[in-house]
Amino acid sequence: MGLCPLHDDRKPSFIVDPGKGLFYCYGCGRGGDVIRFAELYHEMRFPHAVALLRQWRGLAPLLHETTAFYGLQLHRHSEAVTYLHERGIRSPELIEYMRIGYAPGGCLRGRLMELGYPLATLRQSGLVTTGGYDAYVRRIVFPLEGNLYGRSISPSAPPHRFLPGTKGGLYCWEQARELVEVILVEGLFDYASLWQAGFRNVTCAMGTHLNGRQFRQLCDRPRTVYLAFDADANGSGQSAAQSLACRLREQGLNVRTVLLPDRHDPNSFFLQGGDAGQFRSLLESAQ
């Protein structure tokens, strides 16, 4: 109970029930829920009050709506499904598990504004460009913790896209962290291929460079880490793996570097007909 913020109150007449999320003022007789309070306090109409409260809740609800919307788009655009098939992604369980979606472009902004998000919020999140267009166009999208990865299906566009800010922790770390042997891969398509082949002890750093949070996660208990980075022609994946292996060993981890056939990554390994048994042999022979 306290002074009413809605009028000039001398002695406390404003009461809040946090359990029910309701307020009432014995002085001015007004009451209701948090949206009603925002309407009265900011003198705005219902949709604006809802939008304001959404904004205060941060990026999470916005990403949630975006993921759901892009999830629906995936099945409406054959080019997206074709691209997934070309990358060897076929399992509906996997698509559901990773919440894979498709950003065709030109439709997210309208959808989110319909839901009451102001354009300024959408721009701030990076989902909409400063010019007012959808930032993700013709991209397969994967929701991350507090971010959104988009892989272009057009060869002419930059392949990878993230929202501004951190890429978050290791991918689906909750599912892998209890395990004593973990396979770390570079990309989400590598993750998807391994998952589809039955490997559940996989995680992904979305690149070869681990941020501080990802590094601490990997070192949070003694475990064996298999580094299954790309065997690029220029050797960049393997040299990144070597330097990461050193840093992880300094933390007391058992690290093994998986040698994939030349110019392959786990995604292309399975795409070219590799199977779970063959990949398991690569794990066994990892140095």
Applying CB under 5 A, the residues found at the interface with Zn ion are 4, 6-7, 25, 27-28
β-strand pairing of 181-185 with 224-228: parallel
* Token pair recorded at residue 214: 């990802």
Measured from the CB of residue 110, what is the shortest distance to Zn ion in angstroms? 39
Measured from the CB of residue 31, what is the shortest distance to Zn ion in angstroms? 9
Measured from the CB of residue 23, what is the shortest distance to Zn ion in angstroms? 9
Complex with Zn ion: residue 23 or 189, whichever CB lies closer: 23
Nearest to 103 by CA among 120, 121, 126, 119: 126
Complex with Zn ion: residue 12 or 110, whichever CB lies closer: 12
Measured from the CB of residue 37, what is the shortest distance to Zn ion in angstroms? 11
Between CA 107 and CA 76 the distance in angstroms is 13
Measured from the CB of residue 22, what is the shortest distance to Zn ion in angstroms? 14
Measured from the CB of residue 38, what is the shortest distance to Zn ion in angstroms? 15
Q: Tell me the C-alpha to C-alpha distance, in Å, between residue 261 and each of 139, 231, 245, 270, 282.
A: 28, 7, 19, 11, 10
Between CA 91 and CA 93 the distance in angstroms is 5
Complex with Zn ion: residue 14 or 226, whichever CB lies closer: 14
Between CA 94 and CA 81 the distance in angstroms is 13
3-state secondary structure of 143: strand
Complex with Zn ion: residue 6 or 259, whichever CB lies closer: 6
The DSSP annotation for 217-267 comes to: HHTSS--EEEEE----TTSHHHHHHHHHHHHHHHTT-EEEE--PSTT--HH
Complex with Zn ion: residue 6 or 113, whichever CB lies closer: 6
Complex with Zn ion: residue 25 or 240, whichever CB lies closer: 25
